Each structure stands twice: as C-alpha cells, then as structure tokens.
Amino acid sequence: MKKNLIALASLSALCTLAQAQSSVVLYGLVDSGIRHDSAVAKTTAGTGSQTQFSSGVLNTSRFGFRGTEDLGGGLKANFTLESGINLGSGATSSTTNIFDRRAVLGLEDHWGRVDIGRNTTFLYDLQAGFVNDPLGQELTTNRQYAANAATAVNPLGTLVGSGLDTSRRDNMVKYQSPNLSGATLGLAYSFGNVAGATSANSSVQLMAKYDAKPLQLGLAYDRLRDTGARTQTTLTTGGNYSIDGYKLTGGYTQMQADPGFVNSNTSILTNSSASTSLYKFLAGATAATTGLKAAVVDVGLTFYATPVTEVVVAYYNTKYSANGVSANRYDTVATRARYKLSKRTDLYAAIDHTKAKGITAAQTASVTTSNTGFAFGIQHRF
C-alpha cells in the first residue's frame, strides 16, 4: 500500500509539472491488425500459410513526450523522449532501452536546430517523411517469411531499419538548417565512445532537401565506421511530384560495406552468422568477398479513391550482389488503402506480393520463390 501511495504521489507531481509547463505534450500512435502470408517456414519441415495478430502492421506503435521552452530572443529549448511498444503483449519494443526510438535535447533559433542524444538518421527522415518512399516506411515491421526473412514487405525497412543501425543512432549531434527558400540542409555526427579510438563506431551524415510544392526532392548520405576502420555507406535519393490530387514518388537507396565490416550494432553486411546478413542470401560469399552491395529502386502513386480513402500503389526492386557472386533479386508490389474515420483514426487494408529470383530460390527462409500477403487493421494517433 505504501508503495502504491508513493507511486500515486509521484504521478501527481509529474502531472502538476506538465500543467506548469504547457509546452510539454504526450503523443503517440497505436497500430494493430491481422496479417496473412501464403508462404512461411513452419516449425517442422516444409512451408505453409500463416494468419496472425500483428502489432504495428503499418507503423510501429509508440508513445512519447515532447516539450519546448521559449528562452527569449528567438531561442528555444526542445526535448523528445519516445518509446516503441508491442500492442499484442504490452511490452516495450526494446528490452534494453526505455526510449528506444528517440531521446534528444536541443536548441533552436533562426540559425537552425541542434539536437543531441539518440536520434533518427537523415536516411530515415526522408523515407518516413514520404519524400522518396511511396509508403513512407510503412509495412517495414512485417516480413513475408517467418524466421529469418529475406526482406521486409517494404524492403526499405531492411536497408533503413533499427536492427541494421541505419534508422537511429546513439550519441548523435544533429544539425538542421532553417528553410532557405524551400531548401534545408543537415549535418550529423555520432560518437563511437571507444576509448583510444575516436573514429571507431562513429558515423557522419549529410542531408539536402528541397520542398516547394508540388515538388519535393531529397538526398541523404551516411558513413558508418567499425573498430577496424572499415566503413559501411548508405545513400538514399529521390523525390515526388503532386498534381491534381495525384502524387508520383520515386527513389533509390544503396548500402555497401568494406569486406569484413563489423559494427557494434547489427549490419546487413556483417558476418555470415547474423540472421540479417547479406552473406546469407549470396551463396559463395564470405567476409573476404569484395563489392558487397544491397540496393532498392522504388516507384509509387498516391491518390484519393474517395474524399476519405487514400490509396498507395508501390513497386520495389531489391538486389543483393557481390563481385563474382550471382545476384539475388526481389520484386515487390504493394497496395495500401487508408479509410479516415476521423483526423486521428484510420481503418486500413494492404496487399503485397514478392517474387524472388536468383540462387536457391533467393535463399528465402521458406525456400519458396514467392509470397502473397494481405493485412487489415486500425490505427489511432494522439
């Protein structure tokens, strides 16, 4: 009872503080649905279909706190603390980080904005912002195949995903310029915090974006070092154009690494034992193989079928390759529809089909050459 009283008193104090600072807000997104796949790897030998409850079909469920304080003279202090959650179990997305999605503190004025802490990368910002990804990083948490899936439904979720250390970084200093006649520039550096080796596990990011309706263009570059001075580089570029209620989007994303690259976090181009390793999909490729590369080309069309029904049709071509090794190719077509019940609540449905081409059925976990999936669910933002 005493512990409960202490907890209630603490909660009351926090609420009082939040009221005293009117700029502090609680926000979030809750997403859940049902997904069916035609081909998955069963617990026993062989393959079969699967229908399951899924938390975060379109987007990862999350909650967070965001605040701003006016310091005078146009200067503001900002902070954001954001945590992912699993709606099916109530657990947090990460077992080690309370605020796994963002934990930043920064300053902003007419010169731009600087944030420090765990933050999203520019690669993720452009794609999640629908600049060069027609699905805006939707359908990235659900994979066509169970166990070790070859790619996510939206393969950009494979190249730019938290498990691959390209969507978020720890110990980051991130600068974004003000809007300059539609143009925004960005520079970020992540400290590796390795004693005696300043550059080990560090990263450098660059970003340029042009936003002047009906045209949006964006480019982001990321270079990540490991403790052995090897690098992994990722580049994303593309844009979209809107006219008469239709938006056409196109983009290109590429990731490649030096032979034997190993970072403190999982990388798509790391050793062959990793479940997400590129080597897994390339028979004959080893840590000594040169020219390891993963690339995605995407194109999509967004329109309103009715005044409250938004539809996206997208195509993704994914290739995994290495010098002297046969390449794997995945062709994915996905369609997603959102029906707006209100400004905050949507019903949605999605269908996708992926065809794998290459060695040994492109090394999919289910050892099949194709998969068709469909999902439906509800999403609420607050």
In a domain, 372, yes or no: yes
pLDDT of 55 strictly over 90: no
Strands (E), the chain: 25-41, 47-55, 62-72, 75-84, 102-109, 112-120, 168-176, 183-190, 203-212, 215-225, 231-243, 246-257, 293-306, 309-322, 325-340, 345-357, 370-381
In a domain, 278, yes or no: yes
pLDDT at 2: 45
* 92-101, 110-119, 235-244, range with the lowest pLDDT: 92-101
CB 60 within 8 A of CB 84: yes
In a domain, 161, yes or no: yes
Name the pLDDT band for 334 (thresholds 50, 70, 90).
very high
What percentage of the chain carries pLDDT values higher than 70?
76
pLDDT of 286 strictly over 60: no
What are 25's strand-pairing partners?
66
Q: Is the peptide bond before 214 cis (omega within 30 degrees of 0)?
A: yes
pLDDT at 6: 46
Name the pLDDT band for 48 (thresholds 50, 70, 90).
confident
What is the identity of the amino acid at 25? V
Q: Read off the pLDDT of each residue in 191-217 and give the average, rounded to a whole number.
A: 92
pLDDT at 230: 82
In a domain, 84, yes or no: yes
pLDDT at 287: 52
In a domain, 296, yes or no: yes
Name the pLDDT band for 324 (thresholds 50, 70, 90).
low
CA distances from 348 to 135, 344, 369 (A): 13, 13, 27
Q: Read off the pLDDT of each residue in 2-13 and give the average, rounded to a whole number.
A: 44
Reduced to 3 states (helix: H, G, I; strand: E, B; else coil), residue 212 is strand
pLDDT of 85 strictly over 60: yes
- pTM over 0.75, yes/no: yes
pLDDT at 11: 43
In a domain, 27, yes or no: no
Alpha-carbon distance of 109 to 106, in angstroms, equals 11
pLDDT at 51: 87
Q: Read off the pLDDT of each residue in 271-284 and give the average, rounded to a whole number.
A: 47
In a domain, 9, yes or no: no
Tell me whether strands 370-381 and 25-41 are parallel, antiparallel or unpaired: antiparallel
pLDDT of 34 strictly over 90: yes
What are 253's strand-pairing partners?
236, 296
Alpha-carbon distance of 269 to 66, in angstroms, equals 35
Q: Read off the pLDDT of each residue in 120-124 and give the average, rounded to a whole number.
A: 95
Give how many domains the chain has, as a whole number.
1
In a domain, 163, yes or no: yes
pLDDT of 364 strictly over 80: no
Number of H helices, E strands in the chain: 3, 17
The C-alpha angle with vertex 161 and arms to 220 and 183, in degrees rounded to 5, equals 25
Domain that holds residue 36: 32-381
CA distances from 304 to 55, 67, 334, 377 (A): 26, 34, 16, 19
CA dihedral 102, 107, 112, 118 (to 10 degrees): -20
Cα-flanking dihedrals φ and ψ of residue 131, to 5°? Answer: -70, -55
* Sequence-distant (≥ 6) Cβ neighbours of residue 9 within 8 angstroms: none
- Tokens for 349, please give them: 């449905």
Return the exposure string of 276-314: e unless at least 16 CB atoms fall within 10 Å of the residue's CB, then b.
Answer: bbbbbbbeebeeebeebbbbbbbebebeeeeeeebebbb
Rg (CA), the chain: 22
Name the pLDDT band for 4 (thresholds 50, 70, 90).
very low
Q: What is the CATH number of the domain that holds 103?
A: 2.40.160.10
218 or 330, higher pLDDT: 218
- Tokens for 276, please give them: 């997400």
pLDDT at 93: 81
Per-residue pLDDT of 128-176, as tens digits, reads 999 999 999 999 876 654 333 445 788 887 777 644 567 899 999 999 9
* 67-76, 82-91, 113-122, 239-248, range with the lowest pLDDT: 82-91
Per-residue pLDDT of 314-323, as tens digits, reads 999 988 877 7
Q: Read off the pLDDT of each residue in 87-96 and give the average, rounded to a whole number.
A: 83
CB 252 within 8 A of CB 238: yes
CB 223 within 8 A of CB 203: yes
User: In this structure, how many other beta carbons lie within 10 angstroms of the beta carbon of residue 75?
Assistant: 13
